């Protein structure tokens, strides 16, 4: 336990050019500590910021220099205060020097640990590296960095650099950036660590592995190509899902006065025989396991079972090689394994390299049968694919994916697309619109892949840890909304959508969707059952759900939680025309209530979303009256109260009157509609 304790110093650039991303840096670093508090409570951490006006570090006092570097926190065992510190990083005023910061960080680690804990000491630098570092007194910058990097390697330290670039760094001098990149790459080579370049706030949040998992081999032994050709390999997990933490059950039975109460809950199982009216608890030794076989339950004792069960021998054997196209990607069953040659074994490394490269050239994969350990009661059949290393320091390796057995596959038949009626077949224009979407809504334009899994944080876990931190301070804190920076993981990037407005317009022009009018009631009910529980979600704050795609869940009333969704659902209930009227009336009341109960305008945003939905609904139903009345009412209300922000909000979203061009029954001209809020003159405060 103790020997795995990590000693980490964060080196954070807080200079002016970093201010735009500092809130992400704060989130990332506090998440790091939050997870350490749960999973690695004894890790130690120090925080250094650079780019600050003042200077506070040992080196500046001892030897001078090292200006604009502040040790925010000396190295200590992680605690809650560290989270607080990291959540309010200072905003610096000067452009920092990352090399000075690295030296300060090293100095801290050396002073504290001498040359102990090799390999457990780590520096993590987050900077945009767009400002030149100071020239050294002797030798070139490169020489200087080389010396420092060698010293670092000798001390058994590693440095991880996260460099914020692209959209996130403003116009910077390319020469300086290249120079800095080169200098940082020296560290990376000498201490065998990586530099990560990120160009979106989302990927910045995913750039640092916030939880350190000690690698454990799944298997060490031979990869057997044939009975007399074996290669020594180690197998690790390449992917493994970081699960939602398993929370313990909490008991409130103990009196509050009991300070020593553990509040733990024990789950106990009792096995009872039910014979007529009497029940009796059966002791463990009188129990026997039964296995279902059709309607029968077959009792088998553990000893019997051990005698007959399947007992394969440990080992990994190649069953054959085959063409990569034979294995469909969707057949991969589980998380993925990594096969590497036994570390330090040059021959094995060469053998793996040769096989991997030959496979790559031939576009071949290997089928393997694996029994990871003695005593395992099943075999795993899977596919080995080559992983040709792009980094000359890192050996070639393989990935291994588990494949299904015959019993695991349901071979359902689905209709050929050609068999559908002509009306279901896309015509040329529709096909073109789809082609454009597939090409233009591009997440990987030349080398800039967005949402790269390696840099994409898990939004659910992020939200959990944030809620945990909030709750630690305020036990009844509500579940926080999804972080803005993580919206891009769960919703389309608004910029990308805006850039492709014409593509989406074409899509809307060429494709039409409508509710199936012939739908039988029974199937609707079925659908409702399946969907229940999903209609109570909190609005994501956007009135984007179209009326035609709402699940037909019977909505009787517009609730406070998701008024927009409720409204849209109610409007689409076609079994009775009164729903429309009721929906409009109720949403109108909801909007007015939101206005009146708004404190400093905190509910305006929600009100505006409701207005947007109401407007859309009223146009669809060609019922401009109620909406226009409401708008007049709102304008009057705002004029009386001297509220400016709400009309501005409404105007900015074009939520003005419904004009005649939009609904025949309206008597408002387009011009009137346009100038509706412009003409508004708030009364001066009395």
Partner 1 sequence: MDLDPEDVFKDEEDDPDNEFFQQSESSKEYVVYLVDASRKMFSTTCPGNDQKDETHFHTAVSCIAGSLKTQIISRSYDEVAICFFNTREKKNLQDLNGVFVFNVAEREHLDRPTARLIKEFDCIEESFMREIGSQYGIVPGSRENSLYNALWVAQALLRKGSIKTADKRILLFTNEDDPFGSLQDAAKKDMTRTTLQRAKDAQDLGISIELLPLSRPDSEFNVSTFYADLIGLDGEDLAQFMPSASQKLEDMKDQLRKRMFTKRVVRRIGFHIANGLSIELNTYALIRPTVPGAITWLDSVTNHPLKTERSLICEDTGALIQEPPKLFQPYRNENVKFLPEEIAEIKRISPGKLRLLGFKPLSCLKDYYNLRPSTFVYASDQEVVGSTCIFIALHRSMLKHNRFAVAYYGASNHPQLVALVAQDEITSAGAQMEPPGMHMIYLPYSDDIRDDEEIFPDTEEDAPRADEDQIQKAAALIKRIYVKDFSAFQFANPALQRHYAVLQALALAEDDIPETTDETAPDEEGLTRPAVVRAAEAFKHSVYGDSYDEESDMGKEKMSEASRKRKAIAENAAKDYDWGNLADKGQPYLERIQLNNSR
Cβ-count burial of 564 within 10 angstroms (0-12 exposed, 13-18 middle, 19+ buried)?
A: buried
Cβ-count burial of 411 within 10 angstroms (0-12 exposed, 13-18 middle, 19+ buried)?
A: exposed
**Between 322 and 675, whose beta carbon lies closer to partner 1?**
322
- Residues in Cβ contact with 382 at an 8 Å cutoff, skipping those fewer than 6 apart: 333, 337, 367, 368, 370, 400, 401, 402, 403
Closest CA to 196 of 129, 99, 244, 96: 129
Q: Which value, in Å, is the radius of gyration of the alpha carbons in the chain? A: 32
**Between 522 and 600, whose beta carbon lies closer to partner 1?**
522
| Least distance CB 488 / partner 1 (angstroms) | 8
| Least distance CB 623 / partner 1 (angstroms) | 19
Q: Do 7 and 117 touch, CB atoms closer than 8 A?
A: yes
| Least distance CB 279 / partner 1 (angstroms) | 8
**Between 277 and 296, whose beta carbon lies closer to partner 1?**
296
DSSP state of 548: G
Span between the terminal Cα atoms of the chain, in Å: 70
| Least distance CB 258 / partner 1 (angstroms) | 7
Angstrom distance (rounded) from CA 553 to CA 532: 8
Instruction: Strands of 144-237 (E only): list them.
Output: 157-164, 195-198, 219-226, 229-237
| Least distance CB 373 / partner 1 (angstroms) | 9
| Least distance CB 417 / partner 1 (angstroms) | 5
Closest CA to 113 of 60, 159, 155, 63: 155
| Least distance CB 559 / partner 1 (angstroms) | 15
**Between 64 and 215, whose beta carbon lies closer to partner 1?**
215
- Residues in Cβ contact with 364 at an 8 Å cutoff, skipping those fewer than 6 apart: 321, 322, 323, 324, 358
| Least distance CB 571 / partner 1 (angstroms) | 14
**Between 543 and 646, whose beta carbon lies closer to partner 1?**
543
| Least distance CB 47 / partner 1 (angstroms) | 18
Closest CA to 164 of 198, 124, 121, 116: 198
Phi, psi of 669 (to 5 degrees): -85, 165
| Least distance CB 525 / partner 1 (angstroms) | 11
Cβ-count burial of 299 within 10 angstroms (0-12 exposed, 13-18 middle, 19+ buried)?
A: exposed
| Least distance CB 108 / partner 1 (angstroms) | 24
**Between 236 and 637, whose beta carbon lies closer to partner 1?**
236
**Between 108 and 383, whose beta carbon lies closer to partner 1?**
383
Q: Do 52 and 14 touch, CB atoms closer than 8 A?
A: yes
**Between 47 and 207, whose beta carbon lies closer to partner 1?**
207
Q: How many Å is the maximal CA-CA distance in the chain?
A: 97
Angstrom distance (rounded) from CA 190 to CA 161: 13
| Least distance CB 600 / partner 1 (angstroms) | 26
Closest CA to 184 of 240, 101, 62: 101
Residue with tokens 């304008």: 635
Structural tokens at position 85 = 């510190």
**Between 504 and 637, whose beta carbon lies closer to partner 1?**
504
**Between 119 and 175, whose beta carbon lies closer to partner 1?**
119
| Least distance CB 639 / partner 1 (angstroms) | 33
Dihedral in degrees, nearest 10, Cα atoms 21, 25, 27, 30: -160
| Least distance CB 547 / partner 1 (angstroms) | 8
| Least distance CB 362 / partner 1 (angstroms) | 6
Adjacent-strand bridge partners of 158: 122
Structural tokens at position 268 = 């106990």
**Between 339 and 604, whose beta carbon lies closer to partner 1?**
339
**Between 306 and 602, whose beta carbon lies closer to partner 1?**
306
Which helix (H) or strand (E) is 232 found in, with range? Answer: strand 229-237
Instruction: Strands of 64-179 (E only): list them.
Output: 69-77, 121-127, 157-164
Cβ-count burial of 599 within 10 angstroms (0-12 exposed, 13-18 middle, 19+ buried)?
A: exposed
**Between 175 and 294, whose beta carbon lies closer to partner 1?**
294
**Between 198 and 668, whose beta carbon lies closer to partner 1?**
198
Structural tokens at position 256 = 């509050």
Look at strands 157-164 and 121-127 and give their pairing: parallel
**Between 222 and 633, whose beta carbon lies closer to partner 1?**
222
């Amino acid at each position: 336990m103790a020997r795995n304790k990590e000693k980490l110093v964060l080196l954070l650039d807080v200079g002016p050019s970093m201010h735009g991303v500092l809130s992400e840096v704060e989130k990332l670093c506090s998440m790091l500590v939050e997870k350490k508090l749960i999973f690695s409570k004894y890790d130690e951490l120090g925080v250094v910021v650079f780019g600050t006006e003042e200077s506070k570090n040992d080196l500046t006092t001892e030897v001078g220099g090292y200006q604009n570097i502040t040790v925010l926190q000396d190295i200590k065992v992680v605690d809650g205060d560290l989270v607080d510190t990291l959540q309010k990083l200072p905003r610096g005023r000067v452009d920092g020097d990352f090399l000075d910061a690295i030296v300060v960080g090293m100095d801290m680690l050396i002073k504290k640990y001498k040359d102990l804990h090799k390999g457990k000491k780590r520096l993590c630098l987050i900077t945009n590296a767009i400002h030149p570092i100071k020239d050294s007194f002797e030798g070139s910058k490169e020489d200087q960095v080389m010396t420092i990097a060698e010293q670092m390697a000798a001390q058994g330290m590693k440095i991880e650099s996260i460099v914020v670039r692209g959209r996130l760094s403003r116009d910077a001098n390319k020469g300086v950036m290249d120079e800095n990149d080169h200098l940082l790459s020296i560290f990376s080579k000498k201490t065998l660590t990586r530099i990560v370049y990120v160009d979106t706030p989302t990927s910045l949040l995913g750039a640092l592995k916030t939880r350190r998992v000690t690698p454990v081999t799944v298997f060490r032994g031979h990869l057997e190509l044939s009975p007399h050709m074996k290669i020594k390999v180690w197998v690790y997990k390449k992917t493994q899902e970081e699960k939602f933490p398993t929370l313990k059950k909490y008991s409130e039975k103990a009196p509050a006065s009991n300070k020593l109460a553990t509040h733990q809950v024990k789950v106990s199982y009792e096995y009872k025989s039910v014979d007529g009216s009497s029940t009796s608890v059966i002791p463990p030794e009188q129990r026997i396991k039964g296995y279902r076989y059709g309607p029968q339950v077959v009792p088998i004792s553990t000893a019997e079972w051990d005698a007959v069960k399947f007992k394969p021998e440990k080992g990994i054997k190649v069953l054959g090689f085959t063409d990569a196209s034979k294995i469909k990607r969707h057949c991969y069953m589980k998380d993925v394994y990594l096969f590497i040659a036994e570390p330090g074994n040059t021959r094995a490394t060469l053998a793996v390299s040769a096989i991997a490269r030959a496979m790559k050239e031939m576009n071949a994969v290997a089928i393997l049968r694996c029994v990871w350990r003695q005593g395992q009661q099943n075999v795993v059949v899977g596919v080995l694919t080559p992983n040709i290393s792009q980094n000359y320091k890192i050996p070639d390796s393989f990935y291994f994916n588990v494949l299904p057995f015959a019993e695991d596959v349901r071979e359902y038949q689905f209709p050929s697309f050609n068999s559908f009626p002509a009306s279901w077949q896309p015509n040329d224009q529709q096909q073109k619109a789809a082609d454009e979407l597939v090409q233009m809504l591009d997440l990987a334009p030349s080398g800039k892949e967005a949402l790269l899994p390696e840099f994409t944080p898990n939004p659910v876990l992020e939200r959990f840890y944030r809620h945990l931190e909030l709750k630690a301070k305020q036990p009844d804190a509500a579940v926080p909304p999804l972080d803005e920076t993580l919206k891009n993981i769960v919703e389309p990037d608004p910029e990308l959508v805006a850039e492709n407005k014409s593509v989406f317009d074409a899509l809307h022009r060429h494709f039409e969707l409508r509710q199936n009018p012939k739908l039988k009631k029974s199937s609707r009910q079925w659908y409702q059952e399946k969907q229940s529980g999903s209609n109570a979600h909190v609005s994501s704050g956007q009135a984007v759900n179209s009326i035609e795609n709402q699940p037909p869940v019977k909505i009787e009333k517009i609730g406070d939680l998701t008024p927009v969704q409720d409204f849209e659902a109610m409007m689409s209930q076609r079994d009775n025309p009164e729903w429309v009227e009721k929906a409009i009336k109720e949403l109108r009341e909801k909007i007015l209530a939101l206005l009146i109960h708004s404190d400093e305008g905190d509910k305006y945003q929600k009100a505006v979303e409701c207005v947007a939905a109401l407007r859309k609904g009223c146009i669809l139903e060609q019922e401009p009256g109620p909406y226009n009345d409401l708008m007049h009412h709102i304008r009057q209300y705002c004029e009386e109260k001297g509220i400016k922000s709400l009309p501005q909000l409404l105007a900015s979203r074009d939520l003005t009157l419904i004009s005649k061009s939009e609904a025949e029954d309206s008597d408002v001209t387009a011009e009137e509609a346009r100038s509706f809020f412009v003409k508004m003159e708030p009364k001066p405060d009395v």
